Amino acid sequence: MFEVIKNGGWMMAPIILCSIVAMAIIGERFWSLQRKRIIPADLVPYIWQLHRDKKLDEPTIRRIKLSSPLGRILAAGLLNRKHGREIMKSSIEEVGRQVTHELERYLNALGSIASITPLLGLLGTVDGIIRVFSDIAIGGMGDPAVLSGGISEALICTASGLTVAIPSLFFHRYFERLVDDHVVRMEEESLRLIDIMQGAREDI
């Protein structure tokens, strides 16, 4: 493996760096975007039970806020539950936009890596081809080993760039869809909370 990296030339360094960053982002997003961490099960029924038992005080709402992203959104509505449906809804929407932005953390960087690494591989390819033609101009076609070295560098850079870019692009699209699914689910849970807190429905 070290020989392959060495034969790839100087352009392998940024490609390897991009691969390390991409793997770190993918691992972190897999951990942070787990459904149970974003949308705890039965949070709305739990809040409704607290409300019926008259235990929904500010310390309890603060704990709900710190429990999860969904808890943070619902806590914003709970703090304004006495000001009517529209105020409650607008406060939830405002915090919801902030939470959505946080769920998308690092996804732009992952998408940039997916776009940049093929270009880095292409640059390494061009550099290798230039070296081949320079060697031909200096020594002619007599030494196949010299020519194969430049061609090998070009092919290794291209393959390395694509090896990093393809999974980065896949996981970028996957996490984007996962965030969208979480956002839709949090919107549903928020509307359900608004309905039951404002008396529009009794079932949860």
Show me where the domains of the chain are located: 2-197
Query: Per the structure block, which two tokens stand in for 130?
Result: 């230039």
2 vs 62: which has the higher pLDDT:
62
What is the b/e burial string over 126-146, where b = at least 16 CB atoms within 10 angstroms of the residue's CB? ebbeebbeebeeeeeeeeeeb
- How far apart are alpha carbons 66 and 138 in whole angstroms? 68
Q: Which helix (H) or strand (E) holds 172?
A: helix 144-197
- Residue pointed to by tokens 């902030």: 98
Pick 147 or 60 by higher pLDDT.
60
Mean pLDDT of 80-104: 90
Query: CA–CA separation, 88 vs 94, rounded Å?
Result: 10
- Reference 198, options 44, 57, 82; nearest CA is 82
Enter the DSSP assignment of 43: H
Enumerate the H helices of 80-143 as residue ranges: 85-103, 107-139
pLDDT in tens, 117-176: 999 988 888 877 777 777 667 666 555 665 666 677 678 888 899 999 999 999 999 999
Q: ∠77-190-184 over CA atoms, to 5°?
A: 140
- Choose from 4-8, 114-118, 189-193 the range with maximum mean pLDDT: 114-118
**200's tokens:** 């529009």
